[in-house]
């Protein structure tokens, strides 16, 4: 018998989701006694700054909950917000945090409150003292190093991920036809010397996007055969647009490749493996020859952000939404590139957004959810590739290429419909029966609702190799 005390959560779900949430524990009217979790979940919809209950129940996804109460930020516009908390009925008592100031949480004052307040003051004072000592210590040590011949710039460079490759300024480039247009930039085919290149042109008013992408390409050890090669940067003389010059991928995006071509099992596997190799490398944190490449989460992985080269290999591109998971001198410095107030990536392709990011139910300080979000998207892209493999549709027609969920939710999927379908109903693209258990299992292990159950990129690669 389990020794874990049971958690009581407020219970209120729509009839169509009753089955899923009621399976998480005994329901008694508007209360639920959780079976396997210590966490309650609360999902609310914000309509005209008013909160409307969407789902209150025991948390069915295996996740740790650190917060005792359900504190959420009020989003600017109509959106879903959610919290996971760990005290009895905490999902019913939601407290709003309005930016930029966090109002004091409503508390039940009881005996001992004064003592607690005094304790907090003591702890704060101690922390302040310790911080001052640490700062003095660091200053003293860096002074000592300067005295012993190490310059202050060297001290900065000891944090190896700050070392940048020397910048290659490209001037003599000729732009030709448009290869693709994104939300911020236009990608042209171009000539650079005698090579054909791709040139991503950012209007001057999107320079912050340009700098984000450039920063990722310029990380040490980013040169890899599965990542689009970065050749340099430039600026257009006439209007000041900013240029990122890249290796040209002959087949363009994987999305356009799949729209135009079906493929054999061997070619499909080559696409899948090289894509997983690229992601595995991007996610890796590695050091070599005094250089350090931090792990990078792509943040907007989709078949439009994977390119196909003439030899049928995939390379990753478009790092505007990426997060560099820096770890210098033992400190974790997350370079948070993409979240708005609710943690929804602002400019990502909706269809590939994982359930936890759709629901905003993840801890934004955690790096792992960003990597796990990429794995969810990877699963969807593997499915897209196999859906165009004629060897997997023997004796039948290969379906036209569709984006994930395009069949179920039509072309212009909205955030609300996607949350309902992917997160609430836990639906995924359908996998044909004749594909067999190994492919199905691999996809399921990539797009699992439970983020911790998802594979890592090297594991996906290992599974693909064993197929
Ligand atoms: N190196 C390349 N070689 C060939 N085609 C490319 C290359 N880079 C980009 N493209 C084409 O341009 C399209 C847009 O590229 P990219 O995703 O980098 O631009 P973006 O403005 O960041 O778009 P998004 O709106 O997806 O963020 C790609 O989908 C692809 O079709």
pLDDT digits 0-9 by tens, 424-436: 889 999 999 999 9
Residue 345 pLDDT > 60: no
Whether the per-residue pLDDT at 359 is higher than 70: the answer is yes
Q: Out of 90-94, 239-243, 434-438, which region has the weakest mean confidence (pLDDT)? A: 90-94
User: Atom 21 (ligand 1): residue with closest C-alpha?
Assistant: 182
Q: Residues within the annotated binding site for ATP?
A: 200
| Rounded Cα–Cα distance for residues 116 and 110 (Å) | 10
Percent of the chain past pLDDT 90, that is, above it, reads 46
Residue of 208, 230, 318, 347 with the most ligand 1 atoms within 8 Å of its CB, for mutation: 318
pLDDT of residue 3: 57
Taking CA atoms only, the protein residue closest to ligand 1 atom 30 is 253
- Position in ligand 1 atom list of the atom nearest CA 318: 18
Overall size of the chain counted in residues: 467
In this prediction the ipTM stands at 0.95
Tell me, what's the pLDDT at 159?
Answer: 45
Count how many Cα atoms sit within 13 Å of the Cα of residue 252 in the half-sphere of its side chain: 16
Burial of 243 (0-12, 13-18, 19+ CB in 10 A): buried
Answer with the residue of higher pLDDT: 396 or 273: 273
Question: Which tens digit of pLDDT belongs to each residue from 173-200?
Answer: 889 999 998 888 999 999 988 899 999 9
CA 401 to chain centre: 24
Q: Does the CB atom of residue 321 touch ligand 1 within 6 A?
A: no
Rg (Cα) of the chain, in Å, rounded? Answer: 25
Pocket test for ligand 1, best of 181, 212, 303, 317 (most atoms within 8 A of CB): 317
Residues in binding site: 200
Name which of 86-100, 186-200, 334-348, 438-452 the model is least confident about: 334-348
Ligand 1 centroid from CA 218, angstroms: 18
pLDDT tens for 22-46 read 888 899 989 999 888 888 888 777 7
Whether residue 341 has pLDDT greater than 50: no
pLDDT of 49 higher than 50: yes
Q: Are strands 79-85 and 94-97 parallel, antiparallel or unpaired?
A: unpaired
Question: Is the beta carbon of 305 within 6 A of some atom in ligand 1?
Answer: yes
pLDDT score recorded for residue 35:
86
Q: Separation of 185 CA from ligand 1 center, angstroms?
A: 8
Q: Is 293 in the pocket of ligand 1 (CB under 6 A)?
A: no
- Give dist(CA 85, CA 100) in Å, integer: 22
Which range, 47-56, 266-275, 322-331, 448-457, has the best average confidence (pLDDT)? 266-275
Q: Which of 19-33, 234-248, 381-395, 434-448 has the lowest mean pLDDT?
A: 19-33
pTM exceeds 0.80, yes or no: no
Mean pLDDT over the full length of the chain: 81
pLDDT score recorded for residue 165: 56
Contact 308, 263 (CB under 8 A): no
Q: Quote the CA–CA distance of 461 and 238 in Å, as a whole number.
A: 46
The CB of 314 under 6 Å from ligand 1? The reply is no
Residue 120: predicted pLDDT:
75
Instruction: Assess whether pLDDT exceeds 60 at residue 113.
Output: no
Residue 372: is its pLDDT beyond 90? yes
Atom index in ligand 1 nearest the CA of residue 315 equals 1
Question: Is the distance from the beta carbon of residue 304 to the nearest atom of ligand 1 less than 6 Å?
Answer: yes
Pocket flag, ligand 1, residue 200 (CB < 6 Å): yes
Q: Is residue 351 very low, low, confident or very high in pLDDT (cuts 50, 70, 90)?
A: very high
Instruction: Specify the ligand 1 atom closest to the Cα of 187.
Output: 12
Q: Given the CA of residue 184, which atom of ligand 1 is nearest to it? A: 21
| Exposure on the CB side of residue 124, measured as CA atoms within 13 A | 6
Selected residue with higher pLDDT from 172 and 339? 172
Quote the pLDDT of residue 272.
98
Of 14-23, 85-94, 278-287, 408-417, the range with the lowest mean pLDDT is 14-23
């Amino acid at each position: 018998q389990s020794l874990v005390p049971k958690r009581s959560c407020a219970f209120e779900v729509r009839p169509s989701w009753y089955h899923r949430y009621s399976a998480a524990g005994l329901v008694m009217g508007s209360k639920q006694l959780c079976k396997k979790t210590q966490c309650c979940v609360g999902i609310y919809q914000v309509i005209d700054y008013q909160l409307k209950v969407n789902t209150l129940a025991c948390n069915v996804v295996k996740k740790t909950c650190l917060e005792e109460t359900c504190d959420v930020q009020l989003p600017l516009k109509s959106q879903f917000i959610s919290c996971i908390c760990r005290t009895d009925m905490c999902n019913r008592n939601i407290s709003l945090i309005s930016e930029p100031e966090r109002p004091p949480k409503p508390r039940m004052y009881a005996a001992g409150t004064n003592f607690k307040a005094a304790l907090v003051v003591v702890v704060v004072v101690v922390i302040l003292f310790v911080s001052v000592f640490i700062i003095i210590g660091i200053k003293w040590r860096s002074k000592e190093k300067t005295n012993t011949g190490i310059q202050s710039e060297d001290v900065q460079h000891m944090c190896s991920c700050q070392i940048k490759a020397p910048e290659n300024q490209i001037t003599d480039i000729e732009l030709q036809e448009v290869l693709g247009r994104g939300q911020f930039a236009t990608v042209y085919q171009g000539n650079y010397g005698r090579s054909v290149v791709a040139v991503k042109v950012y209007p001057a008013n999107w320079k912050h996007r340009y700098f984000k992408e450039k920063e990722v390409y310029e990380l040490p050890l980013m040169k890899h055969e599965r990542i689009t090669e970065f050749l340099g940067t430039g600026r257009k003389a006439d209007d000041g647009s900013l240029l990122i010059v890249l290796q040209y991928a002959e087949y363009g995006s994987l999305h356009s490749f799949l729209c135009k071509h079906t493929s054999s099992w061997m070619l499909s596997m080559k696409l899948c493996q090289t894509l997983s190799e690229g992601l595995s490398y991007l996610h890796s944190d590695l050091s070599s020859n005094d250089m350090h490449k931090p792990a990078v989460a792509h943040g907007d992985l989709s078949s439009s952000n994977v390119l196909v080269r003439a030899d049928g290999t995939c390379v990753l591109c478009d790092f505007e939404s990426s997060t560099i998971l820096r770890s210098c001198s033992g400190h974790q410095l997350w370079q948070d590139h993409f979240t708005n107030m609710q943690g929804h990536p602002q400019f990502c392709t909706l269809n590939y957004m994982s359930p936890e990011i759709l629901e905003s139910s993840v801890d934004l300080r955690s790096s792992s959810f960003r990597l796990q979000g990429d794995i969810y998207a990877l699963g969807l892209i593997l499915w897209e590739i196999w859906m165009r493999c004629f060897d997997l549709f023997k004796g039948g027609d290969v379906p036209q290429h569709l984006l994930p969920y395009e069949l179920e939710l039509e072309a212009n999927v909205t955030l609300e419909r996607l949350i309902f379908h992917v997160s609430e109903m836990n639906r995924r693209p359908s996998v044909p029966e004749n594909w067999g258990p190994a492919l199905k299992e691999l996809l399921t292990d990539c797009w699992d609702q439970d983020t911790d159950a998802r594979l890592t990129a090297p594991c996906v690669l290992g599974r693909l190799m064993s197929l």
